[in-house]
Amino acid sequence: MPRQYQQECVERAIEANVIVSLGTGTGKTLIAVKVMEHFFEEGLVEFFLVPTRALVSQQAQYIRRHARCSKTVRVTELRGEMTLGWTAQDWERCVQESDVIVCTAEVLRVALVDRGFVSMSQISLLVLDECHSASGNDPMAEIMLDAFIPAAHRGGKHPRILGLTASFARGAAVNVDIKRNALEAVLQADMISPEVGPEHSPQQQLMKVDWDSDNLPDELAPLVGKALLNSLSLALGDLNIISDKGLEQIRLRSLGVLEQLGWVAFLFYIREGVVRQLEAKAILNIRHGSSSGGTKEDKLADLGLMPRAPTWPQLPEVQSALCKVADQLAMDAPLQSLAPKLSNKVEKLLKILEDSAAKAESDGSGFRAIVFVKEVSLTYPLANLINSRITRLQTGAISGNSSTTEKDRENTLQDFRLGVLDVLVSTDVLEEGLDVPGCGVVLRFDAFATTKSHIQGKGRARALGSVVYYFENDPGIEEDKASNMAKVAQDPSLGLSKAQLMVVRNHLATATLVPGVHPFFPNAQRPYAQISVYNCVKIFDSYVKEVLKQAFDPADLWTYKFDVAPDGQRVVLQLKYPSNDGWQFVPFDREREFCESVSNHDLWPAARCSNMTAADREQRNFCFVACVEMSKKGYLTQWNKASEEACAASAVRCAPLPQPKGEQRLRNKFDSRCLDDNSNAGREADGEK
């Protein structure tokens, strides 16, 4: 049964759009489920949006367990790669066969805005989990601004909105009341935050960690960096695959590991981390069409139905070369004497973990801990240190979509939930929403800059008697900021009135609307799919990749007045794109015509475009003109996908682009296999060859 404050939220959400702002662990997902039960309607579907793929399965399973209605609730889980090739028929079937669809926001944004496969009239309830993400050009914000608000403004049927958050203000904890209003404006919802008693809210002990600085000598970084670059150049130079920029990336990240963790982790990173990151980059190039590949065998391997062919023939040579580099550095006694084997900061972390695990064992309770770090490059080296120094603890590592495969991430999370792993070293990808009731220790190893990080991070500690340790931030200061945010959420006088929300809706629905020009609707009779300056780059890139059928460098599609302009700002002369009629060109004059036609309208509101440079806006103008032209000429379908004719003939009728350079640069990515080599662990733990 819902608690009193949960029932209050449910009743408010049934009456109108609301944002529920409650602390972590207070049952916001149950509130959503109870609201969902009310809005189940035959022929309509509910969407539950999450910010990360890691939360899709977790929230879907929760809904299946707790939703109650007259029939079994059909819950579908969707992730981006599952729907890439979907047609309107595929989406129609999915909507018809589902009561609830749980997906990342980008999946729904593409279906609603880019493709028009789904319309707001088909959705009865839209739940936005961790809705504080809905700002700027985040997919949640784009769904509201490009689909929901226009539909509501037209008077068409649209869903109820329910936002869930424990930390509504993004960024620094300043102007929190304005940030509340901005979120209410985008979600077209009132914020509510009823009082929650301490008996229903997780209580963590917050501890500041002190340790003695290592006082590393000033000459350490330059000496180690120079020795590392010299060794890398000698070892990898003949292979001619890593650019100077890539070598510099290796140097900087290696030094970061050395300064934060010590000599042992530094050598582990060189032996195991660099080559895996380079391998991951090669795999990524193949999947994204910027290197050779994309065969039927590649696609079957992506699905796990075939073994993957070697993606980078030089990989064994690079692995061997990097091991030699690490071995050479390990024998350099003068360099070793400048750095500790383990940093004092790591020694302190290991002591906390050791003592916490011992206490949990004596209490007869399970032990589960999360260590948050800022950089991906620290995750696996730190996990390896914990595994080698505290043998009774099994430690894994995890990071975001661009640095960990989804399969590895899900397997690691599942092992942590089941207790196979005792400790997770993670980037901030796990700050939001991860639900592991047995987690009793959280360690914030690095500094963080936002109150959201404080609230979300400590919220991962759910077990009774949980402790959160802060190595850099002051927990007292962070708690004060969090308390202030909670007070703003609870004060109804600070919210937008219904009249103000209506003014905002009318403004947002018309501010970027230029009749007949922007946005462009490929099918005026069914104004769902659209082309705008906000989504045109994604549509353009998707089209080119689909029709060109070769590896290419996107920079080859642009022509500039100067390779390097005197003022540093390059001027675009034209943009070209492939078609079944040969290469097509969008000249500077046509982009200027578009700019003049919308000059009396603000297409670039600060709330949506604050991070865009003038060059970004110019690129979007060109891509918008190109996409509209492609649509009118039939190269794009009404769904903003490449037409069959364009796919069939473009590659034949367009002179091929130059092949991209084959050099590899370091990608901020690790492979979990580097934690499985126990033979290296002991050697690296002692900093020996």
Task: Using the structure block, give the residue that is written with the tokens 């308390």.
Answer: 483
Q: Do domains 4-201+492-508 and 205-212+350-483+671-678 have the same CATH topology?
A: yes
> What digits encode the pLDDT tens for the residues 164-206?
999 999 888 889 999 999 999 999 999 999 999 888 888 899 9
Q: Provide φ and ψ at 269, rounded to 5°.
A: -60, -45
The pLDDT of residue 563:
57
Mean pLDDT of the chain: 87
> What digits encode the pLDDT tens for the residues 310-342?
445 667 777 788 888 899 899 999 888 999 999
The CATH superfamily assigned to 205-212+350-483+671-678 is P-loop containing nucleotide triphosphate hydrolases (3.40.50.300)
> What digits encode the pLDDT tens for the residues 282-316?
544 444 444 334 444 454 444 444 444 444 566 77
The pLDDT of residue 607:
83
Q: Look at residue 602 and tell me whether its pLDDT is greater than 90.
A: no
Token readout for 614 is 């003038």
The pLDDT of residue 664:
45
Query: For residue 643, what are the CA distances in angstroms to 226, 417, 554, 578, 648?
Result: 53, 45, 21, 12, 9
The pLDDT of residue 641:
95
* C-alpha–C-alpha distance, residues 48 and 296, integer Å: 33
Q: Look at residue 534 and tell me whether its pLDDT is greater than 90.
A: yes
What is the CATH T-level fold of the domain 4-201+492-508, as seen in this structure?
Rossmann fold (3.40.50)
More confident residue, 670 or 127: 127
3-state secondary structure of 125: strand
Collect all residues with Cβ–Cβ distance below 8 Å to 450 and sequence separation of at least 6: 170, 171, 172, 173
The pLDDT of residue 302:
47
* C-alpha–C-alpha distance, residues 562 and 555, integer Å: 14
Which H, E and C letters describe 557-584, residue by residue? Answer: HEEECCCCCCCCCCCEEEEEECCECECE
Locate the domains of the chain by residue range. Answer: 4-201+492-508, 205-212+350-483+671-678, 220-342, 515-549+553-653
- Residues 425 and 373 sit within 8 Å (Cβ to Cβ): yes
Q: Look at residue 667 and tell me whether its pLDDT is greater than 50.
A: no
* C-alpha–C-alpha distance, residues 9 and 18, integer Å: 8
Q: Provide φ and ψ at 533, rounded to 5°.
A: -70, -10
Give the mean pLDDT of 631-653: 94
Give the mean pLDDT of 458-483: 94
Collect all residues with Cβ–Cβ distance below 8 Å to 105 and sequence separation of at least 6: 49, 50, 51, 128, 133, 138, 139, 140, 143
* C-alpha–C-alpha distance, residues 327 and 320, integer Å: 11
Q: Look at residue 457 and tell me whether its pLDDT is greater than 50.
A: yes
Burial zone of 170 (CB within 10 Å; 0-12 exposed, 13-18 middle, 19+ buried): middle
* C-alpha–C-alpha distance, residues 291 and 551, integer Å: 5
Token readout for 525 is 């009779």
Q: Look at residue 660 and tell me whether its pLDDT is greater than 50.
A: yes
* C-alpha–C-alpha distance, residues 550 and 10, integer Å: 52
The pLDDT of residue 249:
83
Burial zone of 650 (CB within 10 Å; 0-12 exposed, 13-18 middle, 19+ buried): buried
User: Which amino acid makes up residue 430?
Assistant: L
Give the mean pLDDT of 61-68: 93
Give the mean pLDDT of 80-105: 93
* C-alpha–C-alpha distance, residues 55 and 51, integer Å: 8
Q: Is the peptide bond before 519 cis (omega within 30 degrees of 0)?
A: yes
User: Which amino acid makes up residue 489?
Assistant: A
The pLDDT of residue 658:
82
Q: Tell me what percent of the residues of the chain surpass a pLDDT of 90.
A: 62
Give the mean pLDDT of 392-402: 84
Q: Which of 635, 600, 617 is nearest to 534 (CA)?
A: 617
Q: Look at residue 666 and tell me whether its pLDDT is greater than 90.
A: no
If pLDDT is split at 50, 70 and 90, which confidence band does 527 have? confident
CA 10 vs. chain centroid, Å, equals 30
Q: Look at residue 139 and tell me whether its pLDDT is greater than 50.
A: yes
| DSSP state, residue 81 | G
> What digits encode the pLDDT tens for the residues 216-248?
999 999 999 898 888 888 777 666 666 777 778
- Angle at which helices 614-632 and 536-548 pack, to 10 degrees? 60
* C-alpha–C-alpha distance, residues 534 and 621, integer Å: 10
> How many other CB atoms are found less than 10 A from the CB of residue 526?
11
- Residues 146 and 535 sit within 8 Å (Cβ to Cβ): yes
* C-alpha–C-alpha distance, residues 137 and 147, integer Å: 14
> How many other CB atoms are found less than 10 A from the CB of residue 614?
9
* C-alpha–C-alpha distance, residues 157 and 647, integer Å: 36
Q: Which of 151, 66, 69, 51 is nearest to 107 (CA)?
A: 51
User: Which amino acid makes up residue 525?
Assistant: Q
The pLDDT of residue 685:
35
Give the burial string for 428-445 (b: 16+ CB within 10 Å, else e): bbbbbbbbbeebbbbbbb
Task: Using the structure block, give the residue that is written with the tokens 């000429």.
Answer: 633
- Residues 659 and 551 sit within 8 Å (Cβ to Cβ): yes
* C-alpha–C-alpha distance, residues 40 and 575, integer Å: 48
* C-alpha–C-alpha distance, residues 450 and 454, integer Å: 7
**Weakest mean pLDDT among 119-128, 509-518, 560-569:** 560-569
Collect all residues with Cβ–Cβ distance below 8 Å to 350 and sequence separation of at least 6: 342, 385, 386, 389, 390
Give the mean pLDDT of 565-580: 81
Q: Look at residue 434 and tell me whether its pLDDT is greater than 90.
A: no
* C-alpha–C-alpha distance, residues 232 and 329, integer Å: 11
Q: Which of 430, 267, 398 is nearest to 336 (CA)?
A: 267
Collect all residues with Cβ–Cβ distance below 8 Å to 380 and sequence separation of at least 6: 268, 269, 272, 273, 397, 425, 670, 672, 674, 675
Collect all residues with Cβ–Cβ distance below 8 Å to 625 and sequence separation of at least 6: 586, 590, 591, 594
